[in-house]
Amino acid sequence: MVLWNRRRGFYRAGEEAALNRYVIDALSVPDRVEEGHEAVYRYRMEERLVHITAPVLAVCAPQDHYSLPALEELAAALGCETAVLSGGHVPAPEQLPGEFADVVNRRFFADVLPGRDGPLGTPGGAGAVGPQGVDTTLVEGR
């Protein structure tokens, strides 16, 4: 119950089922339940941003008090556009799945990406485009 109460602030009223799923997943590894949060806290992405060459869209929720304050700084470092959803918190893709998908799909499939003559089209149509030649060395090696 302590874990549920600690995470409650990230979910809106009526989203208890999503919070319950999170807690069930977390409790499946009871001896390591906090490791994920600690790993995210320790992870330093700032030095790696210069290696990202693929198109990026920084998406955030307006009640995400952890990421929203850094959104513009992150976007400036990546040279990318931003999108702030109409609502939500940290689990915004789960809270607003339709809006999140629309924002991401519009940016990467309906808008014309840098270096392209036209949009990719539907997500399923992107496979016909072939390699984009924008992966970093790290990604290419996987």
Residue 137 has what pLDDT? 60
Residue 54 has what pLDDT? 82
88 with 95: CB under 8 angstroms? yes
Give the whole-angstrom CA distance, residue 109 versus residue 36: 32
Beta strands in 32-140 (DSSP E): 57-60, 81-84
Q: What is the mean pLDDT of each run of 10 residues along the chain (142 residues)?
A: 77 81 74 71 79 89 90 92 92 90 88 82 64 59 56
Q: Which residue has the tokens 């090696």?
A: 141
